[in-house]
A and B are shown apart, each in its own frame.
Chain A
Amino acid sequence: MTAPLRGAGPRGRALERDLVALLGPSAASCAPADLWAMSRDCWPRSLLWTKAGVAPHPPDVVVWPASTDEVVQVVRYAAERRIAVVPFGAGSGVCGGAVPVKGGIALDLKRLSGPPCIDLPARTVDVETGMNGQRLEELLGGAGATLGHFPSSIYCSTIGGWLAARSAGQLSSRYGKIEDIALAVEAVDGTGQVLRTQDAPSAGPDLLQLLLGSEGTLAIVTKARLRCWPSPTSRWMRGLRFGSVQAGIAGLRALMRSGLRPAVARLYDPLDTLLAGRGGRDAHVTVPEPLRWVVEGAQSEALRLALRAPVLLNRLVDALPGSSLLVLGFEGDGPFASSDAREEGELSLRLLAAEGAEDLGPAPGEKWLANRYRISYRQSPLFSAGAFVDTMEVATTWDRLDALYGAVRDAVAPHAFVMAHFSHAYLEGCSIYFTFVGLSGAPAGSSDADDLEQAEERYDACWNAALSAACDAGATLSHHHGIGLHKQLFLPREHGEGMRQLRALKQAFDPQGVMNPGKLLL
């Protein structure tokens, strides 16, 4: 791949000199490859940039602090000079939250990854936030513990990134989202002050919940205390078929309101159910060719042909059998792990049968478990073929969920092919995870000068339609990806007058405005 490598300017070289003087040799760099690596994250729009050979927002310098104290030194240096500081974990964010739109210092936190302190009897682990998520899970596993937090990005994301964007894992119904798992953090605010929230009852507004999700705009989280649990030793997995999405939503709601806590509860809409060939009554149904071209990564010409008519594609979906698959799983630990997981599973089967579910046996659940991280790594070929693919995760209460599903599908249909699943279920509601596949432009290698502009226009049109529909349906804009650059123009519709509260927080924690500027409309 040809990366748009750009040489450092005089400002970058001066910053590098100062930061090396501050933190020592090899702590900073303005080498072109380093600047390019920190100029983007996994926001699909930045794949369009890469395809077009541009990197519009490189930082001036990259710095690698190795301790909270070094983060303090960098932030104080930046605040005195009003230079932007953009924290960078592993760059797995999908909303452009780590893109340094104002240049400045990219603060790569990966050196903050010392050994975690695991206290399983107390059910806590203390960890530095530059640690990779999968690495932490492996270390916990060695101690017989788990965080229970398994985002699909776990191999390429950090604890800090999870906290910054309020991440959710695939087993969130049992273990909670990261804001449920986080007990306390150490963070450096925009003045260089170290904040330490308490893992104990405290009076007044909850500082921890104001720092989580702030995407580096208020403070940089350097350490965290997280809740951990004994590793599960048994899993019970199942697939169930519902006659429609609506029946599946009713079943999922009944399950969550029953007090049972599945580790996995994912309801797929009819197309997603069919394409995965997950068995049951619809196993014989043939998926029409144009749909297969899209979802199975066909040759670029066929794919682009299909995507020229997204309305037709989506109508084809509506004509297919309407069954919905629920993947369900329970976990157990301790001496009765196996019987406990089975008991909860069988209780669920009885409850869901009363809601009209057909038991498909363990195979669909086990298949999902075996393949649960694969989908995240299938995007690049679609972009190379001249398509864009993206995901939107919104959430609302049970009473509005079906209307939200329909509204977003209708709004996106003219722009892109759309499918969805319902995951991260709660007592009072659920999130919907939409996948869009649209036409962006020419295949890689044959682009003309106007291709990027046209691709971004198509991409924006799709997203504007989707987010407007979600807002109108009363949903929250994001359940666990965050806002970043991508969704920030819709933030006033989410928060209304609360935007003034958000700006007040910015003034309180970052009076110089140096912390990840240009995100969350701050």
Chain B
Amino acid sequence: MNGLREDLSATGSAVLAEGEGLRVTPPSIAALGRAVAVLRGHLLPVRVRGNGDAPVEAPPGGALLELTALDRIASVDGATGIARVEAGCSVAALETSARRAGATLGPLLPSVRAGSVGAWLAGPTRGERAVPGSRRETAALSVSAVLADGRLAESRAAPRSATGPDLDHLALGGSGRLCVIAAAWVRLFPAAPPAYAAWRAPDLASALRTVEGLCMDRLTPARGMLRLQERGALVALSWEGPESARLLRERAVRVVGPPLEVDAGPEVRAPASSRAIEVDARWSALEAFARHSGAAEVALYGMHAGGAFAVLSLAADGVEQCAAAARTDGARLVAPRRLRDAGPAWEAMGAGAAWNRLVAALGAEERP
């Protein structure tokens, strides 16, 4: 361990013992590269943490890469809708900078908004966001990722490309397992006032079917709050886009019927329950959850024709029970972290052997 500490210190990083592992804080992307090379060379397990991310221990016999010093926002171009940012920067800080430039990251799950850019992109949502057309895409226009030997792989910042497999997807959603995200070009929406509307549905499942129907008609809301109330369920929705928000809201009203005469804005923006979980799920899974007797609230983000990110809560039961119910219904848990589904899911897709070969080929093996 002493030799390892010396090697890590030589990278320019601050190194501290923490529990059964080490906490390594590189001051720059170059130092991060050197530190990753040392850690991978020793086949050590690595965890990554940036600004805003929940406290996490270094893995036993491994290292926690603390990216808090990699928090620079190099540029924000609101007219083009892009920002260059280091992975340790908090999502909240990036959003503040984007707003100053007339842009925004758009609606994000609360756990994403509270964490770092690196955790957002490497985490279970893969940095995905909803885009017009009832689709989702990753917010990462391009990723700079540190490979096992410390070198930096950097993709071209283009809206789409056809230059082979999308290599950014080795980093996105990978939790730092194959490579560590150091920086990214992030896509931004133009900031504009949302349009709101609210309706009442007979129950929570009907409320979800209403929203699903809007997504199938390409009238996809940006955010939604569905809450069980005494006389049914409230469906409060917002739409975004400088020219499209009003237009989509009007068409939604045409489909669903006259909205309630309430200010739906505060309903949509209301914080979710503290006993909530976050999931990524198909509409059928969300509707199954809504039919549980204790289901109380569903907040929706990243909606598309196939499903949504959602914050789910039960009226009385706690997080564990809520997670169990959602999992039974087929939802994939995003937060809290301790309940998150372990990845990757490649084994179930017939790609377990390919995953193992990929880990070996990238030099990302860990000592058993």
Contact = CB atoms under 8 A, between A and B. Distances in A.
B242 A257 contact: yes
Contacts of A214: 164-165
A430 B243 contact: no
Interface string B151-176: 11111111111111111011111110
Interface residues of B, number: 87
Interface in A180-204: 180, 183, 189, 191, 193-204
A260 B124 CA distance: 30
Interface stretch (B35-43, B57-65, B130-138, B197-205): B130-138
A200 B350 contact: no
A199 B166 CA distance: 18
B165 A206 contact: no
Interface stretch (B8-16, B24-32, B74-82, B289-297): B74-82
B100 interface: no
Contacts of B135: 176, 180, 227
Contacts of A428: 80-82, 141, 159, 187-188
A190 to B, nearest CB: 9
B345 interface: yes
A51 interface: no
Nearest to A494: B163
A167 B189 CA distance: 25
B306 interface: yes
B166 A213 contact: yes
Given A165-B162, A508-B361, A205 B243 contact: no
A397 B161 contact: no
B358 A505 contact: yes
Contact of A397 (B157, B279, B331): B157
A212 interface: yes
Interface string B332-368: 1000000011111110111101110110111000000
A508 B355 contact: yes
B173 A189 contact: no
A258 B81 contact: no
Contact of B156 (A121, A123, A336, A474): A474
A520 B349 CA distance: 25
A493 B163 CA distance: 11
A105 B254 CA distance: 57
Nearest to B131: A427
Nearest to A395: B158
B330 interface: yes
Nearest to B240: A259
B282 interface: yes
Contact of B173 (A204, A398, A481, A495): A204
A88 interface: no
Nearest to B103: A257
B77 to A, nearest CB: 6
Given A204-B343, A498-B167, A508-B354, A429 B161 contact: no
Nearest to B347: A204
Interface stretch (B89-97, B108-116, B244-252): B244-252
Interface string A413-443: 0000000000010111111000000000000
A340 B82 contact: no
A172 to B, nearest CB: 9
Given A196-B349, A258-B241, A498-B167, A183 B306 contact: yes
Contact of A199 (B81, B172, B306, B345): B306
Contacts of A260: 241, 243-244
B247 A347 contact: yes
A261 B242 CA distance: 12
A353 to B, nearest CB: 14
A235 to B, nearest CB: 16
Contacts of A265: none
Contacts of A175: 133
A210 B169 contact: yes
B351 A195 contact: yes
Contacts of B66: none
B147 interface: yes
Contacts of A257: 79, 81, 190, 242
B137 A505 contact: no
B169 to A, nearest CB: 4
A503 B361 contact: yes
B178 interface: yes
A507 B133 contact: no
A195 B187 CA distance: 31
Contacts of B169: 205-206, 209-210
A197 B349 contact: yes
A476 B157 CA distance: 8
17 contacts: A123-B306, A180-B137, A199-B306, A200-B282, A200-B330, A203-B341, A203-B345, A210-B165, A336-B251, A336-B254, A398-B79, A429-B80, A495-B163, A497-B153, A500-B153, A505-B165, A508-B357
Interface of A: 121, 123, 165-168, 174-177, 179-180, 183, 189, 191, 193-207, 209-215, 217-218, 227, 229, 253, 257-261, 334, 336, 340, 343-344, 347, 351, 395-399, 424, 426-431, 474-483, 487, 491, 494-498, 500-505, 507-509, 511, 520
